[in-house]
Amino acid sequence: MDYKLKKKGKIKYIEEGQGEPIVLLHGLFGALSNFRDLVDFFTKTNKVYIPMLPLYELTNLDTTVSGLAKFVEKFVEVKGLEKFHILGNSLGGHISLVYALNNPDHVNTITLTGSSGLFENGMGETYPKRGDYDYIKKKTELTFYDPKVATKELADEVYSIVNNRLKALKIIYLARSAIKHNLGNELQNIAAPTCLIWGKNDTITPPMVAEEFHKLIPNSELNWIDKCGHAPMMEVPGEFNTILSSFLQKHSS
């Protein structure tokens, strides 16, 4: 199903469904399409929000994990959300954690999948190879266990980003900020119940990262999905949604 992008001031977002609110945060090369199956499933039971993170619109100084967490604070304020579930993939998971650490009273639960914040292998630490489509396609395929999930449409999207000089620079700023902003010493302060849903074959945030998150976040549970890479909600949406649904039901207010 196609969902209408809404706008309030400069903030663009999806808002669909009814029920307890859940806010979804995409990653560095993420898009609304990453969450299509998840939105289709959860709009039956939840009000689902997906703010479009301003990865390329912030000042250079604010193009950081903290800067994006502040944007989420603004989004929550604009929408008048008081208590909600938050879910993030990759960089979106990192932002979710920083938001939760700064705003614990707003967060009902946290769900992380392929989250940065401790360690990650990425595409953005150095200047991406502009103009080399095959290189970008192969890098995009590495996101998944099954390279066929990296459709031409997805590869084209990533290619267009890295071939825009301004966007490519912003990607580097954010990737470096994610590496620098290590949360290892802060995760013990996460109070909300946390669900880790991890692909066993994730090469970007490998299984050891999930195990470390599980060890450091007090009230956390770790769920593995076999034959799955860095974006389980895209690659194995049925199993992902079943795990998430069970977790949310346990912690429904």
Q: Are 243 and 197 within 8 A, CB to CB?
A: yes
- Per the CB < 8 A criterion, the answer to whether 199 and 90 are in contact is no
pLDDT (average), residues 25-31: 83
- Is the pLDDT at 127 greater than 70? The verdict is no
Nearest to 25 by CA among 5, 55, 46: 55
Per-residue pLDDT of 221-242, as tens digits, reads 999 999 999 999 999 999 999 9
pTM across the whole model = 0.94
Kindly report which listed range (64-78, 105-119, 125-139, 205-219) carries the lowest average pLDDT score.
Answer: 125-139
- The tokens for 100 are 């939760």
Which whole number is the average pLDDT over 137-156? 88
> The domain 6-250 belongs to what CATH superfamily?
Alpha/Beta hydrolase fold, catalytic domain (3.40.50.1820)
Q: How far apart are CA 167 and CA 185, in angstroms?
A: 31
pLDDT for 129 equals 57
Residue 135 pLDDT = 82
Lowest mean pLDDT, pick from 40-49, 52-61, 105-114: 52-61
pLDDT, average across residues 7-24:
94
- At residue 133, the pLDDT reads 85
Q: Which long-range contacts (CB under 8 A, 24 or more apart) does 224-227 make?
A: 224/198, 224/199, 224/200, 225/197, 225/198, 225/199, 225/200, 226/200, 226/201, 227/145, 227/146, 227/200, 227/201
Give the domain ranges of the chain.
6-250
- Cα–Cα distances (Å) from 118 to 12, 107, 208, 212, in that order, read 29, 21, 10, 8
